[in-house]
């Protein structure tokens, strides 16, 4: 079954932030769209709102006046559900409440044609349970847009237990024809993105709670080393802590309290205080007029560097070597366990152990651990930690080396797997579990995280690039350090390592 023809009438029920955005997307793609809300006049107001935004775009020369007129003419506000009778696709974006959604779809089923496809934009409810009481549950699926719907490319096509696979294909092709990046997923808590992205917030929140670093430093590391568009604190301030905390709680509850999804007390306290982020003027940061944002912490050094001895293969951090060479550092290569030596300092990519523990276990003095960077060749910042015996002069030599490559250096307290590495390892672990459970394919999981939350790389492809044995070691060491189930490696990760395969083979 291919994409719906643009003559097909689309209904959108719920004219709030999401419904209005979805109606706009469908009308832009050429469909006649009927918009319904149970607040009288709300649908018409939503269309006026879209028109006002478009008028501004026409004024700025970003949109042709004719395109605005044609698209707005395709949008029609209606006040009764009966008006939707001849729509071929009926998308619901009303309040997030199972009983209210079920009642609405029972009404829809009574008035619509037997060929109509029913879709819910729910973020957190089960498609299987929304569909359960319908006469034909097979024609209800999830069509999960991201906010704002006209801008965000991802659409999760969610199949419940009864959903007809041919209709899932039709919605997939239709979303593609609307200029979106669709992915298929099964109806499981959080679908793909709201599940797999949880560690992005959780690991930064935990590091903050443990005093590893402050918010501006952790945010800067996620951006400048991790390659993420925003750090977890600035992003949750933008999303709203009430919304982000509620999603975490709903996923945590839906997974029967699995500690991998455990909500953070720090975030709960913000919610309790009414510090909801930008929208309330205060979250992790203050948005009051004139409020000064603290700068990320970094340390600098003016120690002289003679050369850098590279012993063996430093793993993915290998990309630092050409960068050091470009900046005039003499590189001496010899065999060894994958270390960099500069003066008295020994530098190594973190393997998930704390620096002091690794120094003791591996008999290394003046050990400085390096965090992961998305691209060591281009990163602007890197996190380090050091063992208790690292002398001030060794630390200065290590920092001077990284500075020579043009990196700002942020020193974290001696924390297992630092900041970016532990976040990426946990994202990949969650993605591996979702892959094993058949929630989605590896390529759809990666695409969902890139298109839905703008990650620089999908977590599975990222783990492949780092090397699955290293990711497994990091998780095992995190689990040993904390003694917590939360960091248990996914079975599929262990299996792929045992088989010598990647996630994408
Ligand atoms: P919203 O509160 O902005 O809009 C909901 C609209 O539905 C309101 O205009 C309300 O009057 C109307 N409504 C409520 N009950 C109705 C009924 N029985 N019949 C007709 N209209 C009714 O909510 P928002 O944010 O647009 O969310 C809508 C849905 O989209 C929810 O299921 C939510 O989980 C989901 N969603 C929300 C996202 C977000 O970031 N806001 C992202 C993705 C999905």
Query: Does 170 score more than 70 pLDDT?
Result: yes
Please identify, by atom number, the ligand 1 atom nearest to the C-alpha of residue 103. Answer: 18
Distances (CA, A) of 54 to 21, 64, 146: 13, 10, 20
Q: Is any atom of ligand 1 closer than 6 Å to the C-beta of 84?
A: no
Q: Is any atom of ligand 1 closer than 6 Å to the C-beta of 93?
A: yes
The single residue listed with the structure tokens 């300092």 is 345
Average pLDDT, stretch 59-78? 94
> What is the residue-wise DSSP string for 41-68?
THHHHHHHHHHHHHHHHHHTTSS-HHHH
Q: In terms of domains, do 181 and 88 share one?
A: yes
Q: Is any atom of ligand 1 closer than 6 Å to the C-beta of 17?
A: yes
Q: Is any atom of ligand 1 closer than 6 Å to the C-beta of 14?
A: yes
Please identify, by atom number, the ligand 1 atom nearest to the C-alpha of residue 17. Answer: 26
Q: In terms of domains, do 29 and 156 share one?
A: yes
Q: In terms of domains, do 179 and 240 share one?
A: no
- Is residue 492 a part of any domain in this protein? no
C-alpha 18 to ligand 1 mean position (Å): 6
- Give the span between the Cα atoms of 37 and 32, in whole angstroms: 17
Q: In terms of domains, do 162 and 311 share one?
A: no
The residue to mutate among 12, 13, 16, having the most atoms of ligand 1 within 8 angstroms of its beta carbon, is 16
N-term to C-term CA, the chain: 29
CATH number of the domain to which 109 belongs: 3.40.50.720
The residue to mutate among 11, 12, 13, 18, having the most atoms of ligand 1 within 8 angstroms of its beta carbon, is 18
- Give the single-character DSSP code of 478: H
Average pLDDT, stretch 425-436? 98
Q: In terms of domains, do 54 and 119 share one?
A: yes
Q: In terms of domains, do 32 and 121 share one?
A: yes
Mind listing the pLDDT tens digit for each residue in 250-273?
A: 999 999 999 999 999 999 999 999
Q: In terms of domains, do 182 and 198 share one?
A: no
C-alpha 19 to ligand 1 mean position (Å): 7
Average pLDDT, stretch 401-419? 98
C-alpha 22 to ligand 1 mean position (Å): 11
Determine the number of helices (DSSP H) and then strands (DSSP E) in the chain: 20, 15
pLDDT over 70, % of the chain: 100
- Is residue 90 a part of any domain in this protein? yes
The single residue listed with the structure tokens 């599940």 is 195
What's the pLDDT band for 306 if we cut at 50, 70, 90? confident
Q: In terms of domains, do 197 and 271 share one?
A: yes
Q: Which of 263, 280, 297 represents a domain boundary (last residue)?
A: 280
C-alpha 434 to ligand 1 mean position (Å): 27
Q: What integer pLDDT is reported at residue 505 of this predicted model?
A: 84
Q: In terms of domains, do 223 and 113 share one?
A: no
Mind listing the pLDDT tens digit for each residue in 357-403?
A: 999 999 999 999 999 999 999 999 999 999 999 999 999 999 999 99
- Is residue 56 a part of any domain in this protein? yes
CATH number of the domain to which 321 belongs: 3.30.750.190
Average pLDDT, stretch 102-123? 97
Query: Does 214 score more than 80 pLDDT?
Result: yes
C-alpha 62 to ligand 1 mean position (Å): 29
Q: In terms of domains, do 274 and 386 share one?
A: no
Angle between helices 420-436 and 198-209 (to 10 degrees): 140
What's the pLDDT band for 1 if we cut at 50, 70, 90? low
Please identify, by atom number, the ligand 1 atom nearest to the C-alpha of residue 96. Answer: 32
Provide the domain count of the chain: 3
Q: In terms of domains, do 201 and 155 share one?
A: no
Q: Is any atom of ligand 1 closer than 6 Å to the C-beta of 121?
A: yes
Which residue minimizes the CA distance to atom 13 of ligand 1? 94
- Give the span between the Cα atoms of 435 and 151, in whole angstroms: 27
Query: Does 121 score more than 90 pLDDT?
Result: yes
Q: What integer pLDDT is reported at residue 487 of this predicted model?
A: 98
C-alpha 170 to ligand 1 mean position (Å): 24
Mind listing the pLDDT tens digit for each residue in 133-163?
A: 999 999 999 999 999 999 999 999 999 999 9
Query: Does 38 score more than 90 pLDDT?
Result: yes
- Among all residues, which ones are annotated catalytic? 123, 144, 156, 194
CATH number of the domain to which 219 belongs: 1.10.1040.50
Q: In terms of domains, do 182 and 197 share one?
A: no
- As a whole number, the mean pLDDT across the chain is 97
Mind listing the pLDDT tens digit for each residue in 221-258?
A: 999 999 999 999 999 999 999 999 999 999 999 999 99
Q: Which domain holds residue 39?
A: 10-187
Please identify, by atom number, the ligand 1 atom nearest to the C-alpha of residue 15. Answer: 9
- Give the single-character DSSP code of 196: H
Q: Is any atom of ligand 1 closer than 6 Å to the C-beta of 238?
A: no
């Amino acid at each position: 079954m291919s994409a719906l023809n643009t003559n097909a009438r689309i209904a959108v029920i719920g004219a709030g932030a999401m419904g209005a955005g979805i109606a706009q997307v469908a009308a832009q793609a050429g469909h006649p769209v009927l918009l319904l809300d149970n607040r009288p006049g709300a649908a018409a107001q939503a269309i006026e709102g879209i028109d006002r935004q478009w008028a501004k775009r026409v004024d700025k020369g970003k949109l042709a006046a004719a395109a605005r007129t044609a698209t707005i003419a395709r949008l029609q506000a209606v006040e009764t559900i009966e008006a939707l009778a001849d729509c071929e696709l009926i998308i619901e974006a009303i309040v997030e409440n199972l009983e209210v959604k079920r009642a609405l779809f029972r009404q829809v089923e009574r008035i619509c044609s037997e060929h109509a496809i029913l879709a819910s934009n729910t973020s957190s409810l089960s498609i299987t349970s929304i569909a359960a009481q319908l006469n034909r549950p097979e024609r209800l699926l999830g069509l999960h847009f991201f906010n704002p719907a006209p801008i965000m490319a991802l659409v999760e096509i969610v199949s419940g237990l009864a959903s007809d696979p041919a209709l899932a294909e039709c919605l997939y092709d239709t979303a593609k024809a609307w200029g979106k990046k669709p992915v298929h997923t099964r109806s499981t808590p959080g679908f793909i993105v709201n599940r797999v992205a949880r560690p992005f917030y959780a690991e930064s929140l935990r590091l903050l709670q443990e005093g590893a670093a402050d918010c501006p430093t952790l945010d800067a590391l996620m951006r400048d080393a991790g390659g993420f568009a925003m750090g977890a604190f600035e992003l949750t301030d933008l999303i709203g802590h009430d919304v982000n905390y509620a999603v975490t709680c709903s996923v945590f509850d839906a997974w029967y309290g699995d500690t991998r999804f455990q909500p953070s007390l720090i975030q709960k306290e913000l919610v309790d205080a009414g510090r909801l982020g930008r929208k309330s003027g205060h979250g992790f940061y203050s948005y009051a007029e004139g409020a000064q944002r603290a700068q990320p912490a970094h340390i600098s050094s003016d120690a002289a560097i003679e050369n850098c001895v590279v012993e063996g293969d430093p793993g993915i951090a290998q990309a630092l070597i050409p960068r050091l060479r470009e900046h005039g550092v003499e590189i001496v290569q010899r065999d060894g366990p994958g270390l960099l030596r500069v003066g008295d300092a020994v530098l190594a990519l973190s393997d998930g152990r704390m620096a002091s523990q690794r120094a003791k276990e591996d008999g290394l003095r003046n050990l400085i651990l390096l965090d992961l960077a998305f691209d060591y060749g281009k990163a602007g910042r890197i996190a380090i930690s050091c063992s208790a015996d690292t002398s001030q002069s060794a630390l200065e030599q290590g920092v001077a080396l990284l500075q020579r490559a043009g990196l700002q250096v942020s020193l974290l307290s001696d924390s297992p797997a630092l900041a970016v590495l532990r976040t990426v390892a946990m994202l990949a672990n969650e993605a591996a579990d979702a892959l094993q459970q058949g929630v989605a394919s590896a390529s759809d999981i990666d695409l969902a995280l890139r298109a839905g939350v703008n990650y620089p790389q999908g977590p599975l492809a990222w783990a492949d690039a780092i090397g699955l044995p290293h990711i497994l070691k990091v998780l095992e060491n995190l689990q040993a350090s904390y003694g917590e189930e939360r960091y248990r490696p996914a079975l599929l990760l262990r299996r792929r390592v045992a088989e010598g395969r990647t996630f994408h083979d």
